[in-house]
Chains A and B, each alone.
Chain A
């Protein structure tokens, strides 16, 4: 049993009501032509930069998913360790070969899989943990909220890079799963603050109070009522998180404490060429360009989402 009510952000939100209410009229049972996600997409589409960013991102994702089809050589097999060692870009090897005579283009394609997978998983982990934490803090309020936010503040004040370097370096070889966990568990603090702020604000809206009055428990109120309204900032945070983690993972792998060689990732390819930036410049330049393009696209998408989701916020939206 639901009624529609306009949400603050445009579009409609289904708010469950108790069983005693009458069944909604027939026409309201149909899915409205103007749902919240469609509205979001409509506003998003208006922003040229964001559309371009989404297109670029989709292309990159497609290329990387199709890596086995596109890569001419396997990424981890030395081709000819004498004749093909450290070749500059050529027709046969458009991005050159590395000192162990592996084809750099194949490594960039397959490495993209690793880098993007780590980024997406870590950002999702961070968002999940942060959302849960922030939701609980915001909903509980009072002393619990204060303590939980103190902890977040404390964690925020550790420079993330130093923490990551220390943890990853000291514990030696981190598997990719371990890397995802470490990156995820050091990145949720910002998300939790945002979610906590939103939950705090929405907790005392009439419909939330109504839901509680009608018997919805805390969990249900949170999950079914409040969090859907916080979805947009969370999605934006995920997008930004993906961008940040790509950069972080590249940095960690470059310094030898992220993905371990000989596994290909954008950071490890750069590390292979770190000693010889002058002579083997293609090992530094091309993975870097790949990173920059991807992260630019991700940021453009995140910006577009933010603008589309919150048209009245001042972040660059036009009236």
Chain B
């Protein structure tokens, strides 16, 4: 999970106009027929080892393993017959084209291990491959829907405590060295090396070790069984080249030559990077998965949102991934641009700190459950979302984005009811003073709401919350501070209330990391919320394999959260990308719209001058 700096716009409409429990999406404008989404050509792909319908999905179960593996292998052989050469064809008739992606923030570093921001992740995803990628449904339970990448197939042990990945023998690093199992083992060791401070290390805690029976086989050994084993083993790690990173001490990794000029194994290879200006990737023509249809991917970096939008509108960029609602009409007026909406797997919320003085004492205000519930009911979340995002966001009923593994659309949510809030506050002893602010004895109902200066969205929401809570007699002081300072305060549990936004990877483990008692000391539970019943339910949900039972457990857990109201769940953004019409794009995967970028193409008839740069230009510049 990473704190996303700002969520773009998102649409939604309330049901009934009273406090919404969940917001139904409006039908979004469909892209016109001229932009035809292309289904990834996996139907005729030679490496379709585990398409979704096949019963290989094993949510921890183990029935009929051997028979299934035989069936699967047979299908693979059949599948390999279809599609012919597939992999290494360097000459596709329609290959070519350049896509210019406008970014509103600079790429910070090119090492996949340290890729935290979305643009870093995008670059890492394009240059480096994982063992397997999640499918477009982003299922994280078992291995259902996962698409093979570096691992052309995999197999589970009988007791599900280990998974063996068989690497594709054609996979090569961009410098020609073949990808081997030692690279996988090296990557695992690098990620879990405490001195390397790789953020994803805590996600790999359940993996005991990685062994390499032979040069093309890597086996992951787990400490225990749980539904998201496969996800953890594959999603968190982009495999890194051992032969290039071997001798570098971990503290020197970020400054090494490799981090300025990385060598990956993905369908795009690194060409050049001018910090603050542009990052260029070119197609890897000899890639084991096939040559991408585009020649170049250029990330055009702007210092802020306005400049990035200007590039899109001026035709200097082909894609901008999050168009603000205020600019949508202008984008739609352009004949050469189209808009594509997609969900952003993040959720924003108002976080109460239940303990003060760095966790030593109960908070004078927020330790009281009724007060928290009253404040939750005093906030008109639908109106806030409508104001800030127009129709481009949902109000989530709990700490999860739609479509995540741990999502529960039927989770209960406190209604927007200021009268109930007033009654609750009155009965808790908070009386209104002459200035309208409630007091209980000597204590005022006043607190500070911290927001990061980097997020205009949250600053706007903070002002709205301040106004709405003033109507029930609470005085809120908005305290903008810079992100480093805010993170410091969060980690020190040193705040009253904060507007936070977590970007999730859809895994159920996020719940455990953010809201359980254990997470107070070892995770991100900065608000010190602790409820043993909730912990028990989450733990059970994480170790149960039956989806129906998991759903029931989660529903009970979310009911507890709703009763306790440790936070007010505010928004899940729905982003809209502005895309140039000449691009034929693949479906957007919610957490990574670039996941199928290799399948995007530009028809020859529609090409602009920059599409015809070709692959061979700039080789002299690269050599410099």
Indicate whether A and B are direct neighbours in the complex (CB within 8 Å).
yes
B-binding residues in A (CB < 8 A): 77-78, 81-82, 85-86, 99-101, 169, 172-173, 256, 260-262, 274-280
Contact residue among B453, B464, B485 (Cβ-Cβ distance under 8 Å from A100): B464
Known contacts A81-B383, A261-B478; A100 and B463 CB within 8 A of each other: yes
Chain B residues with CB under 8 Å of A280's CB are 326
- CB–CB B327/A278 < 8 A: yes
B320-346 with Cβ < 8 A to chain A: 324, 326-327, 330
Select the stretch in B21-29, B303-311, B363-371 that faces chain A.
B303-311
Chain A residues with CB under 8 Å of B467's CB are 77-78
- CB–CB A99/B460 < 8 A: yes
- CB–CB A173/B480 < 8 A: yes
- CB–CB A78/B463 < 8 A: yes
Known contacts A276-B326, A279-B327; A81 and B464 CB within 8 A of each other: yes
**Closest 5 interchain pairs by CB?**
A81-B387, A279-B326, A256-B453, A262-B463, A100-B463
Per the bound structure, the CA–CA distance linking A77 and B462 in Å amounts to 13
Question: CB of B512 within 8 A of chain A?
Answer: no
- CB–CB B464/A78 < 8 A: yes
Contact residue among A82, A173, A256, A261 (Cβ-Cβ distance under 8 Å from B387): A82
- CB–CB B478/A275 < 8 A: no
Min distance, Cβ A56 to any Cβ of chain B, angstroms:
32
- CB–CB B384/A81 < 8 A: yes
- Other than the known A86-B326, A256-B480, what 14 A-B pairs have Cβ atoms closer than 8 Å? A81-B464, A82-B383, A85-B387, A99-B460, A101-B387, A260-B478, A261-B463, A262-B478, A275-B324, A276-B324, A278-B306, A279-B324, A279-B326, A280-B326
Q: Which residue of B lies closest to A84 (CB)?
A: B387
Chain A residues with CB under 8 Å of B324's CB are 275-276, 279
Question: CB of B482 within 8 A of chain A?
Answer: yes
- CB–CB A262/B466 < 8 A: yes
Per the bound structure, the CA–CA distance linking A236 and B586 in Å amounts to 66
Question: CB of B459 within 8 A of chain A?
Answer: yes
Chain B residues with CB under 8 Å of A274's CB are 304, 306
A-binding residues in B (CB < 8 A): 304-306, 309-310, 324, 326-327, 330, 383-384, 386-388, 453, 456, 459-460, 462-464, 466-467, 478-482, 485
Known contacts A101-B387, A275-B306; A261 and B480 CB within 8 A of each other: yes
Per the bound structure, the CA–CA distance linking A169 and B463 in Å amounts to 21
Chain B residues with CB under 8 Å of A173's CB are 479-481
Known contacts A172-B485, A256-B480; A275 and B304 CB within 8 A of each other: yes
**8 residue pairs from A and B, CB less than 8 Å apart:** A77-B467, A81-B383, A100-B387, A173-B481, A276-B324, A276-B326, A278-B310, A278-B327
Chain A residues with CB under 8 Å of B481's CB are 172-173
Grouping DSSP codes into helix (H, G, I), strand (E, B) and loop, the B interface class, with mixed when no group exceeds half, is helix
- CB–CB B480/A277 < 8 A: no
Per the bound structure, the CA–CA distance linking A89 and B481 in Å amounts to 31
Per the bound structure, the CA–CA distance linking A118 and B370 in Å amounts to 42
Contact residue among A82, A260, A277 (Cβ-Cβ distance under 8 Å from B386): A82
Chain A residues with CB under 8 Å of B330's CB are 278-279
Min distance, Cβ A96 to any Cβ of chain B, angstroms:
13
Known contacts A81-B383, A85-B387, A100-B387; A278 and B309 CB within 8 A of each other: yes
- CB–CB A276/B466 < 8 A: no
- CB–CB A169/B387 < 8 A: no
Chain B residues with CB under 8 Å of A101's CB are 387
Chain A residues with CB under 8 Å of B480's CB are 173, 256, 260-261
Per the bound structure, the CA–CA distance linking A261 and B384 in Å amounts to 18
Per the bound structure, the CA–CA distance linking A81 and B305 in Å amounts to 23
Per the bound structure, the CA–CA distance linking A280 and B387 in Å amounts to 15
Min distance, Cβ A125 to any Cβ of chain B, angstroms:
25
Chain B residues with CB under 8 Å of A78's CB are 387, 463-464, 467
Chain B residues with CB under 8 Å of A100's CB are 387, 460, 463-464
- CB–CB A277/B384 < 8 A: no
Q: Which residue of B lies closest to A280 (CB)?
A: B326
- CB–CB B482/A172 < 8 A: yes
Chain B residues with CB under 8 Å of A256's CB are 453, 480
Per the bound structure, the CA–CA distance linking A169 and B453 in Å amounts to 11
- CB–CB A276/B327 < 8 A: yes
Chain A residues with CB under 8 Å of B383's CB are 81-82
Known contacts A85-B387, A256-B453, A279-B330; A169 and B482 CB within 8 A of each other: yes
Central interface residue in A77, A82, A100, by most chain B CB within 10 Å: A100
Central interface residue in B324, B462, B463, B479, by most chain A CB within 10 Å: B463
Min distance, Cβ B423 to any Cβ of chain A, angstroms:
25
Central interface residue in A77, A81, A82, A274, by most chain B CB within 10 Å: A81
Q: Which residue of A lies closest to B387 (CB)?
A: A81
Per the bound structure, the CA–CA distance linking A81 and B464 in Å amounts to 8
Per the bound structure, the CA–CA distance linking A261 and B456 in Å amounts to 11
Chain B residues with CB under 8 Å of A276's CB are 306, 324, 326-327
Per the bound structure, the CA–CA distance linking A172 and B388 in Å amounts to 26
Min distance, Cβ B13 to any Cβ of chain A, angstroms:
12
Per the bound structure, the CA–CA distance linking A79 and B453 in Å amounts to 24
Min distance, Cβ A160 to any Cβ of chain B, angstroms:
21
Q: Which residue of B lies closest to A77 (CB)?
A: B467
Chain A residues with CB under 8 Å of B384's CB are 81
Chain B residues with CB under 8 Å of A85's CB are 387
Q: Which residue of A lies closest to B466 (CB)?
A: A262
Chain B residues with CB under 8 Å of A77's CB are 467
Min distance, Cβ B378 to any Cβ of chain A, angstroms:
15
Chain B residues with CB under 8 Å of A82's CB are 383, 386-387
Per the bound structure, the CA–CA distance linking A101 and B383 in Å amounts to 12
Chain A residues with CB under 8 Å of B485's CB are 172
